[in-house]
Amino acid sequence: MGAILDALDRLQKIERDLSRQRAKQAAYRRMIAKCQARIDTNQVEYDAHLDAVRRCQMGIDEADLDIKSREESMAKHRLALNAAKTNKDYAAILTALNTEKADTSKYESKVLELMAQKDELLGQSEVFEENNRKLRKRLEKSENELADFLDRTRGELELLEKAREDAAIEIAPSALSSFERVAKKHDGEAMAEVIRLGSRGDEHICDGCNMSVTLEVVNRLRSVDELVLCHTCGRILYLSTEPAPS
Ligand SMILES: [Zn+2]
């Protein structure tokens, strides 16, 4: 390996450790986001549930008002019944009274039905609240785990970042920017070894993507110290301590 690839290889080892740290951090953050999303969903469902409770109560209030106005009207009709002068008047008032009685009993059944519905809904509220408590506990646990992880790895991360800075100083800006671009695309794995296959040893593949690498590329890697990218995955290729062909 020439000096450029050698320096990039040192950078790669540091970059790999940094990537591992970042991936772990990201996993903790994903868990936190997942917990928060579940809390939000539970809250939306709970709000809809509370809305249903409110609608029940409104139905009960409305039916209560109807019952009250029917009762007032029935009281008036009872007085009128006593004061009726003709049979015809009496019969008409009695019919009205009976209709009101039937309506009242209909509204009373409705109130009972809505009250039962409301009781059932209120019973379910506890489930939402219990869920919320559990989910919040889980969120707190995940947040603590992330904070612990950050605390535990802060020193190591600082050392890695410093080492990365030092390693980067030795690399030409154009090579460094190529490295960074490829590393970003492949989760920190910017470099790939060229592996020799076959009994005759004239077949080569990129260890990053397992696709074949031409002999021309291999010869370039043997003869010049420069960046050669895999045609398929774009990783920076290098030859390991392959014995020189005799
Ligand atoms: Zn490749």
Instruction: Output the domain CATH number for residue 53.
Output: 1.10.287.1490
**137 and 39 share one domain:** yes
The share of the chain scoring above pLDDT 90, in percent, equals 88
**34 and 150 share one domain:** yes
**81 and 127 share one domain:** yes
* Residue 246: per-residue pLDDT: 40
Q: How far is the CA of 176 from the centre of ligand 1 (A)?
A: 19
Number of neighbouring beta carbons within 10 Å of residue 106: 13
Average pLDDT of 166-185?
93
* Residue 149: per-residue pLDDT: 97
- The Cα-based distances of 180 to 12, 19, 26, 159, 186 in angstroms read 10, 12, 19, 19, 10
Q: List alpha helices for 84-172, DSSP H.
A: 87-169
* Residue 240: per-residue pLDDT: 80
**93 and 155 share one domain:** yes
Distance in angstroms (rounded) separating the CA atoms of residues 165 and 33: 32
pLDDT tens-digit series, residues 69-128: 999 999 999 999 999 999 999 999 999 999 999 999 999 999 999 999 999 999 999 999
Identity of the amino acid at 83: A
pLDDT tens-digit series, residues 55-65: 999 999 999 99
Residue 6 covered by a domain:
no
**159 and 198 share one domain:** no
Residue 5 covered by a domain:
no
**30 and 113 share one domain:** yes
Residue 3 covered by a domain:
no
The domain boundary, picked from 140, 169, 198, lies at 169
Identity of the amino acid at 3: A
* Residue 87: per-residue pLDDT: 94
The domain boundary, picked from 169, 187, 210, lies at 169
pLDDT at 131 over 80: yes
Identity of the amino acid at 227: L
CB 191 within 8 A of CB 9: yes
Q: How far is the CA of 180 from the centre of ligand 1 (A)?
A: 16
What is the phi-psi region of residue 211: left when phi exceeds 0, alpha when psi lies from -120 to 50, beta otherwise?
A: beta
Place of tokens 């005759």: 200
- The count of domains in the chain is 2
| DSSP code of residue 224 | -
Q: How far is the CA of 30 from the centre of ligand 1 (A)?
A: 29
Q: How far is the CA of 230 from the centre of ligand 1 (A)?
A: 5
Q: How far is the CA of 232 from the centre of ligand 1 (A)?
A: 5
**164 and 180 share one domain:** no
Beta bridge partners of 213: 204
Identity of the amino acid at 120: E
**46 and 114 share one domain:** yes
Residue 8 covered by a domain:
no
- The Cα-based distances of 149 to 16, 19, 69 in angstroms read 18, 15, 68
Model-wide pTM > 0.75:
no
Q: How far is the CA of 194 from the centre of ligand 1 (A)?
A: 9
pLDDT tens-digit series, residues 23-50: 999 999 999 999 999 999 999 999 999 9
**184 and 230 share one domain:** yes
Range of the domain at 226: 176-239
